[in-house]
Amino acid sequence: MDQLEAAGQSRLAASLSELSGDAHGRLALQCAALDLSLVQRLVQTMVRSPQGQAHRAEIGPAMVDRIADHPDGRAEARAVGEQALRDNRVAVVLLAGGQGTRLGFDSPKGMFRIGPVTLHSLFAIHAAGIGASRRDYGCDLPFWLMTSPGTDAETMAFFEKHAMFGLDPRTVGTFVQGMLPAVDPATGDILHEAPDQLTLSPDGHGGIFRAMGRAAVLGDLEERGIDVIMTMQVDNPLMRPADPELVGAHLMAQAEMSTLVVAKTSAEERMGVMATVDGRTALVEYSDLPKDLEQAHDADGALTYWAGSTGVHCLDRGFATRIASGEVELPFHRAEKRVATVDDPDPQAANAVKFEAFIFDALPLAARTATVEMAREERFAPVKNADGADSPDTCRVAMVARASRWLQSSGVTVPDGAVVEIDPRFAQDPADLHGRVPTDLIIDEPVYFPPPA
């Protein structure tokens, strides 16, 4: 109670004192789990006495390793990445702690069934990619899932129900990201959704650093000699876990943090873009990119801010540790949201401020970064919305189109409209298909290419 008062949360302290028995115990437990000094700092600087922008940041174009510029360099990057995998220097973290609000799916998003033929889940597809790389490179490739209190138990139960999708249970782990309370926009008081329940939400994908530190994941990786942590989003089944080309490009650049980008489809596409901000590599969210820059074109007619982030990064383990330990700090962002609260005078208006950290805010903190372009149709088809753009429908179309292209490159006849799905353990790359599919094959019904026996 005293700590709540000291942190400027006397209203919450009073609500706690009004409760008794189990209800008191439940609320007291949630209060005890709060990082009160962080909450106090966020409320003070972003709600009660918000500081204005010190200066207008100077945004400039990013330096990107474009596909067309370095075809040979890419083969070299791939070879370097493959060697790093064989040398057991790489781990993968799947970001799976989000609430998936836009998709409107009740369970963790990774359980969403996306396979165009099999209806395999997003988790199943990512796990298959991990299994394929472990087999092909003879490596451990530790696989961690970042969950949140709302997704952790269901995620692990799902993996267990599916026998860890064939992975050794000792090699798959979860760590749970932190939660932050929503606060009243006028007073900074922590909100309740019920008398004995605070309004809490995950602390954003930038919570990965603190969470990896707390759960001793970084120490474990250090002991194993792993120095590259690839992070990827759960909702993009086209992404190849531990993509050797990205890992290699990251290592060749001696980068502390790297980003995989694809070309935006239009100036208006709602994607964060790579840029420089005050001279440092950064990602600028679409809502923060001034309209004139969004529409800017180079002398050759190409979009200036074309490099959309896929949300895939490689992190140097030492760099991640510096952030996890608080030696360098990620900023928090403030978002006005609607949340369910006990006393809600206007059920339409935004009634809460939430705080979130973003993984990409680590970019300007890195001594060196690499930004690597890949073809969108090969690596990026996220499931964000229930329908329209970036929905299950557009994602399945992209999965089928990629599988069809790969098969056609091996001589297989794939008529328009055919539905095909390739398990990552069958092929993670078109070259893997050579010798695995008969070239005189004609697809005339939905076909799934399963893992080899």
Q: Least distance (Å) from ligand UTP to the CB of residue 102?
A: 3
Cβ proximity of 358 and 204 under 8 Å: yes
**Site for ligand UTP, residues 233 to 272, rule: CB under 6 A:** 233-235
Binding test (CB under 6 A) with ligand UTP, winner from 384, 396, 402, 425: 384
Binding test (CB under 6 A) with ligand UTP, winner from 34, 42, 84, 96: 96
Q: Least distance (Å) from ligand UTP to the CB of residue 128?
A: 18
For residue 90, the cross-strand partners are 228
Q: How far apart are the first and last CA of the chain?
A: 60
Residue type, 323: I
Binding test (CB under 6 A) with ligand UTP, winner from 10, 17, 45, 99: 99
Cβ proximity of 431 and 75 under 8 Å: no
Cβ proximity of 202 and 148 under 8 Å: yes
**Site for ligand UTP, residues 18 to 57, rule: CB under 6 A:** none
Distance CA 296, CA 304 (A): 6
Chain centroid to Cα 392, Å, comes to 17
Task: Between 96 and 251, name the residue whose CB sits nearer to ligand UTP.
Answer: 96
Binding test (CB under 6 A) with ligand UTP, winner from 74, 126, 134, 205: 205
Token look-up 């267990």 returns 160
All residues at 6 or more sequence positions from 170 whose CB lies less than 8 Å from its CB, including other chains:
none
Q: Least distance (Å) from ligand UTP to the CB of residue 79?
A: 29
Contact between 396 and ligand UTP (CB under 6 A)? no
Distance CA 83, CA 224 (A): 16
Q: Least distance (Å) from ligand UTP to the CB of residue 26?
A: 23
Q: Interface with ligand UTP by CB under 6 A: which range of 4-12, 63-71, 92-100, 258-266?
A: 92-100
Helix (H, G, I), strand (E, B) or coil at 240: coil
Task: Between 202 and 308, name the residue whose CB sits nearer to ligand UTP.
Answer: 202
Angle between helices 21-33 and 10-18 (to 10 degrees): 150
Binding test (CB under 6 A) with ligand UTP, winner from 81, 100, 129, 241: 100
**Site for ligand UTP, residues 206 to 235, rule: CB under 6 A:** 207, 233-235
Binding test (CB under 6 A) with ligand UTP, winner from 10, 45, 101, 408: 101
Of 85, 125, 131, 68, nearest to 448 by C-alpha is 125
Alpha helices (runs of H) in 21-121, residue ranges in sequence order: 21-33, 36-43, 71-86
Task: Between 117 and 211, name the residue whose CB sits nearer to ligand UTP.
Answer: 211
Task: Between 146 and 323, name the residue whose CB sits nearer to ligand UTP.
Answer: 146
Helix (H, G, I), strand (E, B) or coil at 110: helix
Token look-up 């893992």 returns 451
**Site for ligand UTP, residues 132 to 171, rule: CB under 6 A:** 146
Query: How many residues in total does the chain contain?
Result: 453
**164-193 footprint of ligand UTP as x/- string (CB under 6 A):** -------------x----------------
Q: Interface with ligand UTP by CB under 6 A: which range of 33-41, 96-104, 180-188, 250-258?
A: 96-104
All residues at 6 or more sequence positions from 290 whose CB lies less than 8 Å from its CB, including other chains:
59
Q: Least distance (Å) from ligand UTP to the CB of residue 134?
A: 22
Q: Is the dihedral of CA 434, 440, 442, 446 positive or negative?
A: negative
Helix (H, G, I), strand (E, B) or coil at 319: helix
**Beta-carbon count within 10 A of 119 CB:** 12
Q: Interface with ligand UTP by CB under 6 A: which range of 57-65, 94-102, 123-131, 135-143?
A: 94-102
Q: Least distance (Å) from ligand UTP to the CB of residue 72?
A: 33
Residues interacting with ligand UTP, by CB under 6 A?
Answer: 95-102, 109, 146, 177, 202, 204-205, 207, 233-235, 311, 384
